[in-house]
């Protein structure tokens, strides 16, 4: 029989450690007498101490370091703080602060977290994945660090993204921490500054490409099926060509999805649905313009298109509702050398600039996914307000420093008439004696619930229909009082209830599509809720 851990083996194990919250009886049981101060704290009192310490930090990056240090010594307290103060804490552990954390990752590195794969591991993937101490892995988030948020190629520093995403899987959807695996596919970096940084921890070579890259990913995916057969693989922050290549290669073979393409799409589709409750437009009548033509933007269109078809439009009519502009102007059929993923959305229309396209197309909704600050100019936004009584503006690029515009600018340029959502959190705006609460089109609304739904029913594939169901479920949770405040998303503090509803919708769709391996339970919502991790002592 395995001996129960005691003493410092307990205090130095983040899953077991409760710090000052160990009761008198527990201190005797685990041999902790003399190893802790006399005072016994409740978890609530410990949270108070954590929040006080956070408030003393001058910069968010210091708060980021502090919080993940807390996760490394007392996992349950970390998640209790995150769940109970999600509005305050999520911007620190995820966007926008995670962008700075990734940029500085090698310089603020404290302890290893997650799993690293390099080109030298070719042919040994099964062996090295077996080094991971947990066997019941259910969610894997993997990146190669080539397109981190709007910050570009950060190489192995991009590990901050899988770590942050999986913290939100646990806080938002109750996936157990030990069932989460962050993975960095460290295949080098084309960022010369990183390669010459003596503190950089990644492979100091230019990026692996072509067949060698594809074979490494294939070996990883194959090994995951053998070692973690119930795991969902989430591809994260891959450069657009690789993002689409990997999704199209594996989506019909294994349980996987790309959050930048599909999770973003479901989140924004939900926001569009909600915006029509303010604007009064029929969803099927909308004209939508995208500034930016990368994987995030075309991923949104790939989901909005079938949603428009579902609303009664023909395939061709639905395509004609979706317009794309890149740095060279409107994407039209006469343009040459366009990427394959954008070709379905080119229009039979004269080429023109961004502002001229707004004048010509007269979109109801403008969506930015450029990664470039200030690309929604005052002129463009004022044009949107001339065309629409209630223009919908989505400035989605992360982090905040790369957003297409700010909430303050949008409300001022539209005289307070805009419906606005951003990718990173936006501050409440007071304009002409009215208070506006901008929505945040953050993928954290969708991906945790999708993962929970897939885990609960043991789905063997993730489909676009599941993301359509997730978008419907998210939009249904927006209340009239939310819309009255100008926000098109439900309060983030309700993220667990949101994730549960999305998980139910995803599971139901999996059963409808005969993609679920677990029997359909008598009480779907109740059975999923029982699976959700509670970090309380």
Class of domain 93-254: alpha beta
Among candidate residues 284, 307, 270, the one with its CA nearest the CA of residue 482: 270
CB 237 within 8 A of CB 145: yes
Q: Residues 398-423: what's their mean pLDDT? A: 94
Residue spans in the chain of domains classed CATH 3.40.50.10380: 93-254
Average pLDDT value over all residues in the chain: 96
Q: pLDDT band at 88, cuts 50/70/90?
A: very high
* List 94, 169, 244, 411, catalytic entry: 94
Model confidence pLDDT, tens digit, residues 225-243: 999 999 999 999 999 999 9
Q: Residues 48-76: what's their mean pLDDT? A: 97
Bridge-partner residues for 258, per DSSP? 235
DSSP 99: H
pLDDT at 2 > cutoff 80: no
CB 301 within 8 A of CB 345: yes
Per-residue model confidence (pLDDT) at position 18: 98
Q: Which residue is it, tokens 């139910």?
A: 504
- Buried/exposed 163-202: b ≥16 CB within 10 Å, e otherwise: bbbbbbbbbbbbbbbbbbbbbbbbbbbebeebbebeebbb
CA distance 40 to 63: 25
Class of domain 262-444: alpha beta
Token pair, residue 354, equals 């961004």
Q: pLDDT band at 398, cuts 50/70/90?
A: confident
Model confidence pLDDT, tens digit, residues 367-377: 999 989 999 99
Phi and psi for 14 in degrees, rounded to 5?
A: -60, -25
* List 18, 79, 165, 508, catalytic entry: 165
CB 307 within 8 A of CB 468: yes
- Angle, vertex CA 473, rays to CA 304 and CA 299, nearest 5: 25
Residue 94 known to be catalytic: yes
Among candidate residues 470, 469, 482, the one with its CA nearest the CA of residue 440: 482
Percent over 70 (pLDDT), the chain = 100
Q: What is the pTM of this model?
A: 0.95
Per-residue model confidence (pLDDT) at position 424: 86
Residue spans in the chain of domains classed CATH 3.40.50.720: 262-444
Q: pLDDT band at 295, cuts 50/70/90?
A: confident
Token pair, residue 193, equals 């500054």
Q: Would the CA dihedral through 206, 210, 212, 217 be positive or negative?
A: positive
pLDDT at 491 > cutoff 80: yes
Residue 445 known to be catalytic: no
- Buried/exposed 493-512: b ≥16 CB within 10 Å, e otherwise: eebbebbbbbbbbbbbbbbe
Cα radius of gyration (the chain): 23
Please report, to the nearest 10 degrees, the dihedral formed by the alpha carbons of residues 481, 487, 492, 497 taken in order: 50
pLDDT at 499 > cutoff 90: yes
pLDDT at 74 > cutoff 90: yes
Per-residue model confidence (pLDDT) at position 425: 87
Q: Residues 468-482: what's their mean pLDDT? A: 98
Per-residue model confidence (pLDDT) at position 189: 98
Q: pLDDT band at 399, cuts 50/70/90?
A: confident
Model confidence pLDDT, tens digit, residues 143-169: 999 999 889 999 999 999 999 999 999
CB-neighbour burial class of residue 18 (10 A; exposed 0-12, middle 13-18, buried 19+): buried
Model confidence pLDDT, tens digit, residues 106-149: 999 999 999 999 999 999 999 999 999 999 999 999 999 999 98
| Axis-axis angle for helices 447-457, 464-476 (nearest 10) | 120
Token pair, residue 99, equals 């962008």
Per-residue model confidence (pLDDT) at position 427: 87
Bridge-partner residues for 209, per DSSP? none
Q: pLDDT band at 171, cuts 50/70/90?
A: very high
Per-residue model confidence (pLDDT) at position 400: 86
One DSSP character per residue, 208-220 reads P-HHHHHHHHHHH
Q: How far is CA 269 from CA 215, 325, 411, in A?
A: 34, 19, 22
């Amino acid at each position: 029989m395995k001996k129960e851990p005691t003493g410092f083996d307990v205090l130095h194990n983040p899953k077991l450690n409760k710090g000052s919250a160990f009761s008198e009886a527990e201190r005797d049981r685990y041999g902790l007498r003399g190893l802790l101060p006399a005072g016994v704290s409740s978890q609530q009192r410990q949270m108070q101490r954590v929040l006080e310490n956070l408030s003393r930090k001058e910069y968010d990056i210091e708060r980021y370091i502090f919080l993940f240090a807390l996760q490394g010594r007392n996992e349950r307290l970390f998640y209790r703080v995150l769940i109970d103060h999600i509005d305050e804490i999520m911007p620190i552990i995820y966007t926008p602060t995670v962008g700075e954390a990734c940029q500085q990752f090698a310089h603020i590195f404290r302890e290893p977290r997650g799993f690293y794969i390099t080109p030298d591991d070719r042919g040994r993937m099964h062996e090295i994945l077996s080094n991971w101490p947990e066997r019941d892995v259910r969610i894997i988030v993997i990146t190669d660090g080539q397109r981190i948020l709007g910050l570009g190629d950060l190489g192995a520093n991009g590990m901050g993204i899988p770590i942050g995403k999986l913290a939100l899987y646990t806080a938002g959807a109750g996936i157990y921490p030990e069932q989460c695996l962050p993975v960095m596919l460290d295949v080098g970096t084309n960022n010369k500054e990183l390669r010459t940084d003596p503190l950089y921890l990644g492979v100091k070579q230019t990026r692996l490409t072509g067949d060698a890259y594809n074979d490494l990913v294939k070996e990883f995916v194959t090994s995951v099926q053998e070692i973690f057969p119930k795991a969902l693989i989430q591809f994260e922050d891959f450069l657009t060509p690789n993002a689409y290549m990997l999704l199209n290669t594996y989506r019909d073979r294994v349980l996987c999805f790309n959050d930048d393409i599909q999770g973003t799409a479901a989140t924004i589709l939900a926001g569009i649905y909600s915006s029509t409750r303010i604007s009064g437009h029929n969803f099927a009548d909308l004209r939508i313009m995208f500034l930016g033509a990368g994987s995030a933007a075309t991923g949104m269109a790939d989901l909005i298109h079938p949603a428009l078809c579902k609303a009664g439009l023909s395939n061709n009519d639905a395509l004609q509702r979706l317009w794309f502009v890149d740095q060279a102007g409107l994407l039209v059929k006469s343009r040459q050398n366009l990427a394959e993923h954008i070709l379905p959305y080119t229009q039979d229309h004269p080429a023109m600039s961004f502002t001229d396209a707004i004048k010509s197309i007269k979109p109801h909704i403008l969506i930015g996914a450029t990664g470039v600050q200030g690309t929604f100019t005052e002129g463009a936004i004022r044009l949107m307000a001339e065309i629409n009584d209630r223009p919908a503006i989505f400035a989605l690029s992360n982090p905040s420093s790369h957003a297409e515009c700010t909430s303050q600018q949008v409300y001022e340029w539209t005289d307070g008439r805009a419906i606005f959502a951003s990718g990173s959190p936006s501050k409440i705006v007071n304009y002409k004696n009215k208070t506006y609460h901008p929505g945040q089109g953050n993928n954290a609304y969708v991906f945790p619930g999708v993962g929970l739904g897939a885990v609960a029913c043991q789905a063997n594939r993730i489909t676009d229909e599941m993301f359509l169901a997730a978008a419907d479920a998210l939009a249904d949770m927006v209340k009239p009082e939310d819309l009255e405040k100008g926000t098109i998303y439900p309060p983030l503090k309700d993220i667990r209830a949101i994730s549960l509803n999305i998980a139910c919708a995803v599971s139901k769709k999996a059963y409808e599509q005969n993609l679920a391996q677990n029997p359909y339970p008598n009480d779907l919502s109740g059975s999923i809720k029982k699976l959700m991790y509670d970090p309380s002592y």
